[in-house]
Every structure is written in structure tokens, then in C-alpha cells.
Amino acid sequence: MIGVSLPLFSGQFPSLKPDRDLFTIVKAFASGVILATGYMHVLPDSFNDLMSGCLPENPWRKFPFTTFVAMLSAVLTLMVDSFAMSVYKKRCGKALMVDANNGGGLENTNVVPIDNFEHGHSHSLEMNDDVSSQLLRHRVIAQVLELGIVVHSVVIGLAMGASGNQCTIRSLIAALCFHQMFEGMGLGGCILQAQYEIKMKAIMVFFFSATTPLGIVLGIGLSKVYSETSPTSLMVVGLLNACSAGLLNYMALVDLLAADFLGPKLQTNMKLQAWSYVAVLLGAGFMSLMAKWA
């Protein structure tokens, strides 16, 4: 909860507002964390599950199901991203047509020259459309990213709750605290940019914070019947991890890193771009180190 809440409260400080350089660097660090989570934590877990000797050799060790499912998950995430933007633009276009049919404020042309008014009105509509489109994109990113993290968190909690090895659990707790905190920071930054109302922010923070404990409770409750090495659990958990990995990798590379580094802000500021790359490498490196314990 601390990790996902920090970016939301940081908006109260001028230097950490979304339009400031420091926020860009912090977001780059968090994006590196999410990227490493997909590649260094979730994907290897899926490989271990689906290539386990407890599963039949045919088809599980005859075909790379992990990368295949991760690829399909990434494409599905792209489809959700694309269709959401298409639906918005279609609705926005209809709204602009209604505005034009109703006169669009042209009754004021007796005060302002028609050429200047039309240019200004068109420019204003374009600006509003760009801002609304960007806001919708941030909201799609926040919701899809939370979905991927929530799936991964439930799987982690389920495995911990069902585990009977106390030594393993103790070593995992500290590592998972850091793991979830930095993952939460990345999600919190996306929620902040999405500009949700307080109620929606609280709901998203709650779901992120509650999923791992919920998974642990389920794991404890099912510990008598749930076995980490049973073929069914290996298949289900392995496929869920593969889906989560594809989603997280796509979101980190396309919607977070590429969107920022290929955007005008970083392209016109080489110093900020360099510091952002350092932040990405630090975030990815730190999270990769966590793979040793969690």
C-alpha cells in the first residue's frame, strides 16, 4: 500500500507533479521495475511451472507454451489498447459533429472575424481532443497494468499461503515487501497521470494492496488440498504467469518506456533523457537483484 500510495501523495509537492522533470525520472525508475518484474520474475516462474517434470512431457516440454501464451497476451493487450482508443475517437467525432450542427458558437461571429474565429475554434477543439485522448490513454494504461499486477500478486500469495516451508516463507517476506513496494510505485505513477477521482483511486489502491494477502489467505485455506507440484496447479499457475508476463512486458516497453522516451519532452532534452535511462537501468537492475530471493 505504501508503494502505490506514495506517487498519489507526491502530487501535492510541486517538484513531483507529472509535468516536472523529477516525476519523469521517478516514472522511468518505476517502468524499469515493471519491465524487470515481467522478464526476471514472472516469465521464469512460468517456465519453471510449465516445464516441470511433474507435467507430461508431451505436450508441455515439446512446445514453448510460456513464450507462446506471453506473445498472445501481449497482442491481446495491444488490441485492448487500440480498441479503447478507437471507441473514444469515434465517440469524440460524433460529439464534434453534433457541436457543428448546433452552430458551434458561431453566433458570435458578428464580434470576431469569421476566419479568426474558425481558426481559434478549431484549434481549441483540437487541443481539447488531444488532452482528452491522452487522459483516456493514461486511464487504459493504469487499468490494464493493474490487471497484470493483480494476477501476478494473487499467484504469489497463493504459493506463499500453501507453502509449508517456514524458512522459505521468512526469506520471501522481506524480498516481497520491496518487490510489491516498487511495483506499486510504478502503478501509482500511472494512476496519478490518469487523474481519477478519489473514489476510483481508493478502489485501485485497495485492489492492489489486498490481492497478495487475499492470495495468502486462499493458499492457507486450500493448503490441505492445494499442492504446488500437482499437474493442475502447475498448468493453471504457469499459464496465468505467462499471461501476466506478456501483459507487463508490453505495458513496460510500449505504453511506459517507448511513450516517454520517444515523446517530445525527452527527445528535446538530452540531459533529462540520459538521467531517465539511468533511472530505468537502476529500477530494472534493483528488481533483477530481487529475483535472487523472490
Q: What does the pLDDT look like over 103-144, one tens digit per residue?
A: 444 444 444 454 554 455 544 545 555 667 778 888 888 888
Contact 276, 265 (CB under 8 A): no
**Model pTM?**
0.78
Q: What is the mean pLDDT of the chain?
A: 80
* Domains in the chain: boundaries: 2-91+136-290
Contact 7, 1 (CB under 8 A): no
Cα–Cα distance for residue pair 253/39, rounded to 1 Å? 11
Amino acid at site 92: C
Residue with cell 516445464: 51
pLDDT (0 to 100) of residue 273: 96
Contact 54, 234 (CB under 8 A): yes
Most confident of 54-58, 80-84, 124-128: 54-58
Residues contacting 254, CB < 8 A, separation 6+: 78, 81
Segment 196-239, tens digit of pLDDT: 888 998 999 998 888 888 888 887 777 677 677 888 888 988 99
Section 30-56 average pLDDT: 91
pLDDT (0 to 100) of residue 36: 92
Section 47-62 average pLDDT: 91
pLDDT (0 to 100) of residue 148: 84
Cα–Cα distance for residue pair 250/35, rounded to 1 Å? 9
Section 79-84 average pLDDT: 84
pLDDT (0 to 100) of residue 243: 92
Segment 6-34, tens digit of pLDDT: 777 766 677 777 778 888 898 899 899 88
